[in-house]
């Protein structure tokens, strides 16, 4: 049997569907199906039940999957060890970025990474924060900047800094907002982020814990855009605290004094790659950029780094 067949077996088992697995592996569906069939023929066992809704593991497939994953992981570790012995850190790494590149210091991160590791090729993909986490979890991205506190066994994390959000309203609403209670605030028109975003999860969880739900008028997927809409008088929203304080100082918004929602800026990555020299190199760069960050280098291999409810 071939290593690529075992890798395909593991990916199809994870995603449960040939279409998604073929996209992940950059193969055609017939080619991927042929790989799985060849592996099943060699093993003399059916690994999957084929249904109209996808691919589900058979009892034999469930028993053999951990062994296949160990072999694939061992091969990856062997390659990483060889690169390390050669003193090389190189190859392609797919990194997700968020809407405010200055806040996450992405240009500085890239500048340091490529100067330190000339053989490294970094492919950036802009994502909404919650989607970034999911793409790291399912392997579409190798790593990503991420706002929030989600936890998954397949995802490791490094906390870079604590961040907070404030409830902001147009400056013209100051009298109404500053004296408002929970029910009055939730009844105002809101500018909300998409449901998959950390921003949306923070707001809905905060209100849900009090038996409330905000009234959404407008949806926007970007902190800077949301801030501009609040300044423009279109509704109330969560604003990142640094943006909110600056806008309040400029007389553009007013802040509701009764709430401050905390979360984290993290760098998340596939936990299985925690010891990969490429990832270790990127984490070293981040440690230099955020020397006082809440997590230490030892946290990088622990996917349970986060603790708060869903983001």
On the CB side of 293, CA atoms within 13 Å amount to 25
SS3 225: helix
Is 265 buried (19+), middle (13-18) or exposed (0-12) by CB count in 10 A? buried
Residue whose C-alpha is closest to residue 148's, from 305, 266, 292: 266
Q: What is the pLDDT, as a whole number, of residue 161?
A: 93
Tell me the C-alpha distance between 178 and 256, whole Å.
6
Phi, psi (rounded to 5 degrees) for 255: -110, 135
244 touches 259 (CB < 8 A): no
Give the residues of the chain that fall short of pLDDT 70: 80, 84, 87, 293-311
The H or E element that residue 13 is part of is helix 3-15
At 63 the pLDDT is: 94
Give CA 62 to chain center in angstroms.
28
3-state class (DSSP) for residue 216? strand
| Element of type H or E holding 239 | strand 237-240
User: Which pLDDT score, from 0 to 100, does residue 305 have?
Assistant: 35
How many Å is the maximal CA-CA distance in the chain?
A: 75
Judging by DSSP bridges, how do beta strands 120-126 and 143-147 pair with one another?
Answer: unpaired
Give the integer Cα–Cα distance in Å for 191 and 225.
10
- Per-residue pLDDT, 79: 76
Per-residue three-class SS string for 26-94: CCCHHHHHHHHHHHHHHHCCCCEEEECCEEEECHHHHHHHHHHHHHHHHHHHHHHHHHHHCCCCCEEEE
Q: What is the pLDDT of residue 154?
A: 87
| Contact indicator for 174, 200 with CB cutoff of 8 Å | no
pLDDT (0 to 100) of residue 84: 64
Q: What is the 3-state secondary structure (H, E, C) of 78-126?
A: HHHHHHHHCCCCCEEEEEEECCCHHHHCHHHHHHHHHHHCCCEEEEEEE
0.85 exceeded by pTM: no
Pairing of strands 189-192, 215-219: parallel
State the Rg of the chain over Cα: 23
Convert the pLDDT of each residue in 160-183 to its tens digit. Answer: 999 999 999 999 999 989 889 988
Nearest C-alpha neighbor of 203 from the set 195, 123, 122:
195
pLDDT digits (tens, 9 = 90+) for 1-55: 899 999 999 999 988 999 989 988 889 999 999 999 999 999 999 999 988 888 9
Domains along the sequence of the chain with CATH:
3-85 (1.10.10.10), 91-162+265-301 (3.40.190.10), 163-263 (3.40.190.10)
């Amino acid at each position: 049997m071939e290593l690529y067949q075992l890798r395909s077996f593991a990916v199809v088992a994870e995603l449960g569907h040939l279409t998604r697995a073929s996209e992940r592996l950059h193969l055609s569906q017939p080619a991927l199906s042929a790989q799985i069939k060849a592996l099943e023929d060699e093993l003399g066992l059916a690994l999957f039940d084929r249904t109209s809704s996808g691919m589900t593991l058979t009892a034999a497939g469930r028993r053999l999957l951990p062994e296949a994953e160990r072999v694939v992981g061992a091969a990856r570790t062997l390659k990483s060890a060889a690169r390390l012995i050669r003193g090389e850190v190189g190859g392609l790494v797919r990194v997700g970025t968020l809407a405010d590149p200055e806040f996450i210091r992405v240009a500085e991160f890239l500048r340091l990474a490529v100067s330190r590791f000339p053989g490294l090729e970094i492919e950036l993909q802009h994502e909404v924060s919650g989607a970034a986490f999911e793409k790291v979890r399912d392997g579409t991205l190798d790593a990503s900047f991420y706002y929030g506190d989600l936890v998954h066994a397949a995802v490791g994390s490094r906390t870079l800094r604590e961040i907070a959000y404030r409830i902001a309203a147009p400056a013209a609403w100051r009298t109404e907002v500053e004296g408002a209670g929970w029910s009055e605030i939730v009844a105002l028109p809101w500018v909300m982020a998409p449901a998959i975003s950390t921003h949306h999860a923070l707001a809905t969880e905060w209100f849900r814990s009090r038996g409330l739900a905000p009234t959404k008028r407008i949806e926007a997927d970007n902190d800077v855009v949301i801030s501009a809409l609040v300044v423009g008088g279109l509704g109330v929203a969560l604003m990142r605290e640094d943006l909110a304080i600056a806008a309040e100082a400029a007389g553009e918004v007013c802040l509701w004094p009764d709430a401050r929602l905390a979360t984290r800026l993290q760098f998340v990555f596939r936990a299985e790659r925690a010891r990969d020299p490429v990832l270790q190199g990127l984490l070293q760069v981040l440690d230099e950029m955020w020397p006082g960050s809440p997590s230490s280098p030892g946290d990088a291999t622990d996917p349970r780094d986060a603790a708060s409810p869903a983001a």
